[in-house]
Chains A and B, each alone.
Chain A
Amino acid sequence: MAAAAVGQQPGPAHGSGPSISIPSLFTQPPVIRDELETDSSHLQDETVEECLPFLSGLEHDKVNAHGIPRLDRERHARFLRKQLGALPSAYVGADPSRPWIFYWCLNALSLLGEDVEPYRARLVETVRPMQNPTGGFGGGFGQASHLATTYAVVLSLALVGGEEAYDVVDRRSMWKWLCQLKQPDGGFQMAVGGEEDVRGAYCASVVISLLNLPLNLSPESPASAAGHTDLVSGLGEWVRLCQTYEGGVSAKHGVEAHGAYAFCALGCLSIIDSPHRSVRKYMDMPRLISWLSSRQYAPEGGFSGRTNKLVDGCYSHWVGGCWPLIEASLSGPTASPAGQPLQVTDEDDSLFSRNGLIRYILCCCQDMSKRGGMRDKPSKYSDAYHSCYVLSGLSSAQTKWRFVASRAHETLLGDDRWEASPHTSGVQIFDEDDRIATTHPVYAIPPHKVDAIRSYFLSKEGF
């Protein structure tokens, strides 16, 4: 790729030109290295080797003064539109998770500034047969309802927006089904008879709060017998036990801390109550923040999902997306009493290296070949999943989120007010044109889409 530019344009070869400056933090191996070699250290060294040429600009045709290539919006958008079209038979493994493809692609396209409303009619007709009369959506027609696919469908419908889309959901049966999934220990199963984990806690909270479902439990719920009276009772306590000795969060009690589950836990807690109350109530904050911070590596700049595992673009969201929730938990609601805008300081008080993450995303996670799309790391193929979560991470790294006002009443789940503004303090290493749309810190779709679906269902009384 680099060779292609040579001879066509005169000028300094990239990397060697005096105009490009990249902090050595991102071009050199870490200063402390153990001598002991193990499988994990070999993999880690290989990953650094793999990323360095991309981080130093050698692998890119064109970089800016900070060594950063442009975000190739058109190429990535083309990749995503293609993923929403007809897929070859090799995609048969995605048959149970097609709703995820809708969400990943529609959300990523929205982040790139594309209008996804024209997909409304097609989405509506595609997801309609996926809804089961007993409530919830499966991965496809005739598949059991699953919280992950239901979450993905609901978010996709919110993304395309409009009553026609919202009205696809049968809220009464959805509520009944969620009551079935609610377990005596307070958590949620992913499907009837399926696994119980912290994804369930998050997906259920999102669905309940976006659709404004009643909170009371049906008498048939397995949780009713255990004395629970509503869908979220005992949920915070259940999530609390997912925090591990490392400070991170595991899928369920007793397992290893993992970035994706950390986001699910914080998202869930931030829905069932305002984060400055619930996250602080249920999480050991110092250990959690320490663990989240440890996920960021240099020279790569990106996040890993677990201790001693490799960086992966998707954790730009799973770990990167935790920071606005952590900041909100620490600061509490920040609206000034008179409703005046808060004073903006020039100092960058971010808890993580935004520029490190942005560097990893733009240098290592873009597939600059004809294929397009975003990826885990340079040696991996791009896909819809990584496109969505890498772009979500990019968005939150470029945005300053403020938790402005707490909900009026504790039963108004997810009713906190958040405000976004471009993050501008410190050095900006990316071109202003590459600033992408914002994504809601809790719901992971554009904030105005959250407002639209919530206000639609808030106006509904009963089912």
Chain B
Amino acid sequence: MPPKAKAAAKAATSDSKAAPEATPETVGERSKQRFYQTNPVQKRFEEVGFPGLTPAEKKTYAHANLILPVANRLVSLSNKTDREYWKHVAKEGLPCRRLKNGYRWGEDKHGRDIGTYRLDELKKRTLSQARLTALDVLHRQFLARREAAAARGEGGEISPEELDEEKKRRKEMAELKRELYGEIPGPLASDPEWDDVAPIPQTEPEDALARIAYPDEYAEAVSYLRAVMAAEEYSPRCLRLTERVIAMNPAHYTVWLYRFKIVSALGLPVLDEIQWLNGVALDNLKNYQIWHHRQLLLDHHFAATLAADPDAAKQFAKSETDFISRILAEDTKNYHVWSYRQYLVTKLGYWSPFELATTQSMIEDDLRNNSAWSHRFFIVFSDPSVSTPGSAPTEHDPKVPDAIIDRETQYAKDKILLAPQNQSAWHYLRGVLVKGGRGLGTVSEFASQFFTDLGGEGESVRSSHALDLMSEVYHKQGDVEKARLCLQRLSDKWDPVREGYWKYRLAELK
């Protein structure tokens, strides 16, 4: 508290006639000045000590220091002396209230001593504090009104205008708090909609391992997330919260699982959710939680609608594959997207020529796109109309028609001719033959065209995979020497990084 102006003024006249004091610049300087103003002769006392004071100063000093003890009757004076004493005090204009030295103004949010503030800075800060206090009063009134309105029940709602005002008010309060105290009340704490939720913050020891300096908004959002998940709340505001968290961290698997629960609990339209999800997927190509969420939505949608409505199912399959194609155009071997695509085809029975054709065009864009080859294998050999359910990919399936085996064998061969060292096509060819129960010998003529004069002077090999395959064919035919030659040449020249494997195969020949 500043001393009374009157006392200060009078004291000043008696103390500093010689040198009028400079106007203080900082809050601390002003405090110091006021300390001296309210403690006459103190400065002289500090400079020269008591013995060095003039008799008049000694008197003033003694009188000033006695004021409180005398006033509090700690020193008892006779009536006359008492009267005399107060007369002197009045005459010299000694201040009754004396400030203490070294007043601490405290620190601001940056750790700066407020004593070092300029006077105008302090004034601004004080006004902000006053403003915050005023806003807080209005904020409390709002809370009280809302509570009263809720207690009244029906029709006792807070008006939208009031709500808007409160939102604005909280925004201003948040700004003031940040400015004054460095507190960062996040957007959720500032939103009246979330007043009833007590956020559960992360509590971790200071030296926790791999401790992440979470951005404030993220830390706030997941604190609210923990609270509503614990309360098993499934509501539109929670849906918005999940969106908020996903935008900040799409790898947060928990929020995705929770989001799906909300979507199903509220019976939200799946197509709207898919629409929203498309945007998220395009922004986060490598994220896989998105695709599991999509799979859950598909199951949900299927059970609720698509199972009973084949047309809708077909349409959905079409729009899904369109979107998948869009994503795959940007990331042609995205594992999770292909994985979802397979799930989609199975769930909706979308074993269509269209699906085969789009996959084929991806293979033809890049013959080495092994993901596309894998998908082709899947749609050809898992189609329940032409295959045995549960047949392993590595085993013969007698139900697959010969025509399909012929067609697929030819397809693989055609592609091998374009790039004989492309292992994707060779793997496919082998896979088809296994499914068809046909031996590798059925393609021996085809495979033999990719090498000539093996072991001879004019040896040339255009495909190590052909040699590999032929070694098995020769072995099966009982021609161990030829089989050995293939493997030996692979080991020595055509694929020597796999020498250990070729040697193992050589050992197996015996």
Contacts and interface: CB of A to CB of B under 8 A. Distances in A.
B351 interface: no
Given A34-B419, A356-B497, A84 B210 contact: yes
Given A92-B249, A142-B222, A144-B257, A36 B435 contact: no
Contacts of A139: 253-254
A418 interface: no
Contacts of A298: 496-497
Nearest to A190: B253
Interface size class of A (residues with CB under 8 A): 35 or more
B248 interface: yes
Sorted nearest first, the 3 A-B pairs with minimum C-beta distance are A245-B431, A40-B368, A142-B226
Interface string B193-234: 000000010111101111111110010001001100110000
A119 B428 CA distance: 49
Interface stretch (B153-161, B334-342, B353-361): B334-342
B463 A32 contact: yes
Contacts of A191: 253, 257
Contact of A255 (B225, B339, B420, B464): B339
B394 interface: yes
Nearest to A104: B210
A157 to B, nearest CB: 12
A92 B394 contact: no
A352 B421 contact: no
A99 to B, nearest CB: 9
A353 B222 CA distance: 48
A286 to B, nearest CB: 9
Interface string A288-305: 011101101110010000
Contact of A256 (B257, B296, B335): B335
A19 interface: no
Interface in A282-328: 284, 287, 289-291, 293-294, 296-298, 301, 306-309
Nearest to A330: B504
A166 interface: no
Contacts of B251: 93-97
A95 B214 CA distance: 9
Given A141-B204, A293-B498, A36 B393 contact: no
Contacts of A83: 210
Contacts of B208: 122, 125-126
B213 A86 contact: yes
A287 to B, nearest CB: 6
Most buried by A among B222, B296, B499, B501: B501
A284 B395 CA distance: 9
B212 A31 contact: no
A33 B497 CA distance: 15
Contact of A92 (B214, B253, B461): B214
A240 interface: yes
A373 to B, nearest CB: 14
Nearest to A156: B209
A254 B254 contact: no
A252 interface: yes
Nearest to B345: A254
Contacts of B230: 142
Contacts of A411: none
Most buried by B among A36, A89, A95, A297: A95
A88 interface: yes
20 contacts: A31-B494, A32-B495, A35-B419, A36-B418, A94-B212, A96-B251, A139-B254, A144-B254, A245-B377, A245-B435, A246-B374, A254-B342, A256-B374, A289-B501, A290-B501, A306-B371, A307-B427, A308-B370, A309-B370, A352-B498
Given A32-B462, A194-B292, A255 B212 contact: no
Contacts of A348: 500
Nearest to A354: B500
Nearest to B200: A142
B55 to A, nearest CB: 66
A445 to B, nearest CB: 17
Contact of B497 (A93, A125, A255, A296): A296
A31 B490 CA distance: 11
A123 B209 contact: yes
B253 A89 contact: no
Contacts of B393: 241, 243-245, 254
B249 A307 contact: no
Most buried by A among B207, B230, B421, B427: B427
Contacts of A379: none
A39 B366 contact: yes
A96 B249 contact: yes
A98 B222 CA distance: 15
Contacts of A95: 212, 214, 218, 222, 249, 251-252
A287 B421 CA distance: 18
A144 B428 CA distance: 40
A247 interface: yes
B333 interface: yes
B43 interface: no
B254 A96 contact: yes
A245 B430 contact: yes
Most buried by A among B365, B393, B430: B393
A297 B202 contact: no
A102 interface: yes
Contacts of B346: 254
A87 B213 contact: yes
A139 B207 CA distance: 18
Contacts of A119: 209
Interface of B: 200, 202-205, 207-215, 218, 222, 225-226, 229-230, 248-249, 251-254, 257-258, 260-261, 292, 295-296, 332-333, 335, 338-339, 342, 346, 365-371, 374-375, 377-378, 381-382, 390, 392-394, 418-424, 427-428, 430-431, 434-435, 461-464, 468, 493-501, 503-504
Contacts of A5: none
A193 interface: yes
B394 A243 contact: yes
Given A92-B218, A126-B205, 20 more contacts: A32-B494, A39-B365, A87-B213, A91-B213, A92-B214, A94-B210, A142-B200, A142-B230, A144-B253, A191-B253, A192-B257, A240-B392, A243-B393, A246-B374, A258-B335, A293-B498, A308-B369, A349-B503, A352-B498, A353-B497
Interface in A39-88: 39-41, 83-88
A203 B487 CA distance: 38
A428 interface: no
Nearest to B370: A307
Nearest to A32: B421
A31 B374 contact: no
Contact of B498 (A194, A284, A294): A294
Contacts of A34: 419-422
Contacts of B390: 241
A387 to B, nearest CB: 13
Nearest to A102: B209
Contact of B212 (A36, A92, A129, A301): A92
A131 B394 CA distance: 40
Contacts of A296: 497-498
Contacts of B260: 193
A290 B333 CA distance: 22
A38 B367 contact: yes
B494 to A, nearest CB: 6
Interface in A346-396: 348-353, 356
Nearest to B461: A32
A298 B229 CA distance: 51
Contacts of B225: 142
A301 B496 CA distance: 11
Interface string A125-154: 110010000000011111110100000000
Contact of B202 (A140, A243, A246, A290): A140
A179 interface: no
B218 to A, nearest CB: 6
A151 to B, nearest CB: 14
A122 B498 contact: no
